[in-house]
Amino acid sequence: MGESGEFQQHLEVRKYQLEREENLTEKEYQIAVIPGDGIGPEVVREGLKVLGEAATRCGFRFRSAQYDFGGERYLRTGETLPSSALEELKEMDAIYLGAVGHPRVEPGILEKGIILRIRFGLDQYVNLRPVKLYPGVWTPLKDKGPDDIDFVVVRENTEGLYLGIGGLVREGTADEIAIQEMVNTRGGVERCIRYAFEYTRKRNRKKKLTLSDKANVLTYAHNLWRRVFNEVGKEFPDVERECAFVDATCMWMVKNPEWFDVMVTCNMFGDIITDLGAMIQGGMGIAAGGNINPQGVSMFEPIHGSAPKYGGKNVACPLAAISAAQMMLEHLGEIEAAELIEEAIKKTLSSGHIKDLSTASGLKTDEMGDMVVKFLGEGG
């Protein structure tokens, strides 16, 4: 081998070493994946496909650990989420959930046993739900467009009516009493409200935070919320504060959604108004959310359920699950990747190929995922 050949070889070796070093410094995320029931597995599959493409393009890796929690496993084993699994989830960087819910399982078992157990067990005290209408998406709101529908709901996620404290007495008689307590702790309310103020400041749009409550009737619980809201708000003089009753909030979400920037609310109200939010942003096919523990492990999911009727048919819209993956990357600090995914979603939506975001979109679940991947490849 001549001198130049040796030099060439040296260059090749060096290049290989440099690439290796770069790979070794690449970040790797451990993601727990819970596909769940019904359409869960197929929409999650598309989300992971998009995540894989984003990872390749942006130079990070992720390793997924699959968990089969859901209705099938429950019917087979009687188990919803074993404690050992909860411990394993605590070691992950994030959790990616499809949907749980099975027609042969009584309502409440999987919801409480899996979703709420993770939310509570991992202290994911905020449920973050962006309501954003993308260009090209149909909204049932007349004369409203993407400039009008763009706000975020910060829903308290570990207390309120969801805690499950209560009971039935004289069950089955005419004198039966059913009690379900609404729990509001100073600490729980304060940390959620503080998160919402910080989020509003960081979002840096209208810099307005609306507390949606029912302080005119829930004169104990939501008195606490209002006091804490105004107290914490004093630390954020740059954020405008506004209070709205939850019934009026529903009215304004339909009539004047452009008034909202960030909204903070209790667990139950947040559950209800975010389904309304999902509808005005184009439906369950696009709405996603994150269950956030700012100091711990967070979980990302499409807001829609398992829609068992459509499970395995390859007709569900995967964009909500893909948006959830995007939120997960943003949370992990992979901002560039998250932005690329959002751009690819927008291009998919305005491509003219998608009739709507229901199961009759005109595209198959995997075709829509492929399209997002294709646009992702073209972006950046």
Characterize the bridge pairing of strands 262-265 and 208-213: parallel
Characterize the bridge pairing of strands 27-36 and 60-66: parallel
CB-nearer residue toward ligand IPM: 116 or 250: 116
Selection from ligand IPM, Mg ion, none that 111 binds (CB < 5 to 8 A by kind) is ligand IPM
Q: Whose CB is nearest to Mg ion?
A: 271
CB-nearer residue toward ligand IPM: 65 or 116: 116
Q: Whose CB is nearest to ligand IPM?
A: 111
CB-nearer residue toward Mg ion: 51 or 303: 303
Size of the site for Mg ion (CB under 5 A): 1
> Quick check: helix, strand or coil at residue 92?
coil
Task: Report, in Å, the least distance between residue 188 CB and Mg ion.
Answer: 19
Q: What is the CA radius of gyration of the chain?
A: 23
**Which residues, numbered 102-121, are part of the site for Mg ion (CB under 5 A)?**
none
> Quick check: helix, strand or coil at residue 327?
helix
What is the distance, to the nearest Å, from the Cα of residue 306 to the centroid of all Cα atoms in its chain? Answer: 15
Strands lying side by side in the sheet with 288-292: 60-66, 27-36, 94-99, 298-302, 288-292, 126-132, 150-156, 262-265, 208-213, 240-245
Selection from Mg ion, ligand IPM, none that 115 binds (CB < 5 to 8 A by kind) is ligand IPM
Q: In this structure, what token pair is assigned to residue 90? A: 């605590």
- 96 bridge partner residues: 33, 300
Contacting residue, 37, 271, 301, 334, with Mg ion by CB under 5 A: 271
- Any contact of residue 156 with Mg ion (CB under 5 A)? no
Other CB atoms within 10 A of residue 131 CB: 23
- Residues designated as active site: 162, 214, 247, 271, 275
Task: Report, in Å, the least distance between residue 272 CB and ligand IPM.
Answer: 9
Task: Report, in Å, the least distance between residue 42 CB and ligand IPM.
Answer: 19
- 73 bridge partner residues: none
Other CB atoms within 10 A of residue 74 CB: 21
Which range binds Mg ion by CB under 5 A, 38-46, 132-140, 252-260, 265-273? 265-273
CB-nearer residue toward ligand IPM: 284 or 315: 284
Q: Which chain residues interact with ligand IPM by CB under 6 A?
A: 111, 115-116, 271, 303
CB-nearer residue toward ligand IPM: 116 or 243: 116
CB-nearer residue toward ligand IPM: 86 or 116: 116
Task: Report, in Å, the least distance between residue 267 CB and ligand IPM.
Answer: 7
> Quick check: helix, strand or coil at residue 70?
coil
How far apart, in whole angstroms, are the C-alpha atoms of residue 101 and residue 34? Answer: 13
Burial (Cβ within 10 Å: 0-12, 13-18, ≥19) of residue 109:
middle
Task: Report, in Å, the least distance between residue 337 CB and ligand IPM.
Answer: 25
Residue 328 one-letter amino acid: M
Task: Report, in Å, the least distance between residue 115 CB and ligand IPM.
Answer: 5
The residues of the shown chain that bind Mg ion, judged by CB under 5 A, are 271
